[in-house]
């Protein structure tokens, strides 16, 4: 009977050690996957923050959930979450690159047209200042308002250009949207047909 108990105890102990070894390997695999996902997210985060911040947040949240699962000992959920976070990081890199290229194309077009439009407005204001006939229904007060708005427009364009030069095309394009509206109103005010 004692031999049977020893054999049973040894069997249970051996089975427990085997489970622990398997659990250790599963834990190591999960930790490795989480670390790889963290590295992928960190590598993409600066560009993603500028161009696809929602995707960055989603990847970070998924990774946080994977870490929580690991901490609770749910290695399967942790490993699955880490794989999902890595996939999201990869998708995020592609989406950020596409968005950056799209914004670059828009910015290039705008940076060609905006200075021409601003020069056109300045030329018209100069002409009016030197006695050219103003459009019907406008007077010197409209010209003074236009000059003030033109100064604001120049400053806004300088700010947008500075944002673009610092690599923040999203911010530059956001500022440029307001500039386009100001430009259209100014042209209308001065009787410039687009």
Give per-residue pLDDT as tens, 31-75. 888 788 888 889 889 888 888 999 999 999 999 998 998 889 888
**How confident is the model over 129-135, as a mean pLDDT?**
79
Average of per-residue pLDDT across 153-172: 89
Q: How far is CA 145 from the centre of its chain?
A: 37
- The SS3 assignment for 75 reads helix
Token reading at 141 = 């007060």
Q: Is the dihedral of CA 78, 84, 90, 92 positive or negative?
A: negative
Residue 24 has a pLDDT of: 63
Would you state the pLDDT for residue 9?
Answer: 35
Reference 178, options 156, 161, 162; nearest CA is: 156
pTM: 0.68
The predicted structure's pLDDT at residue 18: 44
* Span 102-130, pLDDT tens digits: 989 999 998 898 889 889 989 888 888 88
Is the confidence at residue 4, as pLDDT, over 50? no
Query: Could you give the angle at the alpha carbon of 165 between the alpha carbons of 148 and 160, nearest 5°?
Result: 25
Quote the CA–CA distance of 4 and 12 in Å, as a whole number: 12
Cα–Cα distance, 107 to 158 (Å, whole number) = 13
Cα torsion 150, 155, 159, 162: sign: positive
According to DSSP, residue 137 is labeled T
């Amino acid at each position: 009977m004692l031999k049977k108990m020893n054999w049973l105890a040894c069997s249970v102990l051996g089975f427990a050690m085997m489970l622990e070894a398997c659990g250790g390997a599963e834990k190591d695999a999960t930790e490795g996957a989480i670390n790889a996902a963290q590295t992928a997210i960190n590598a993409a985060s600066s560009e993603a923050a500028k161009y696809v911040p929602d995707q960055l947040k989603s990847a970070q949240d998924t990774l946080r959930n994977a870490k929580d699962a690991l901490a609770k000992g749910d290695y399967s959920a942790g490993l699955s979450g880490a794989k999902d976070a890595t996939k999201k990081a990869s998708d995020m890199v592609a989406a950020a690159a596409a968005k950056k290229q799209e914004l670059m194309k828009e910015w290039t077009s705008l940076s060609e047209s905006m200075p021409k439009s601003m020069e056109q407005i300045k030329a018209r204001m100069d002409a009016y200042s030197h006695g050219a006939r103003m459009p019907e229904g406008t007077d010197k007060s409209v010209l003074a308002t236009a000059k003030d708005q033109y100064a604001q427009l120049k400053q806004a364009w300088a700010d947008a250009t500075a944002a673009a030069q610092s690599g923040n095309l999203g911010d530059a394009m956001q500022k440029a949207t307001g500039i386009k509206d100001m430009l259209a109103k100014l042209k209308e005010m001065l009787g410039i047909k687009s």
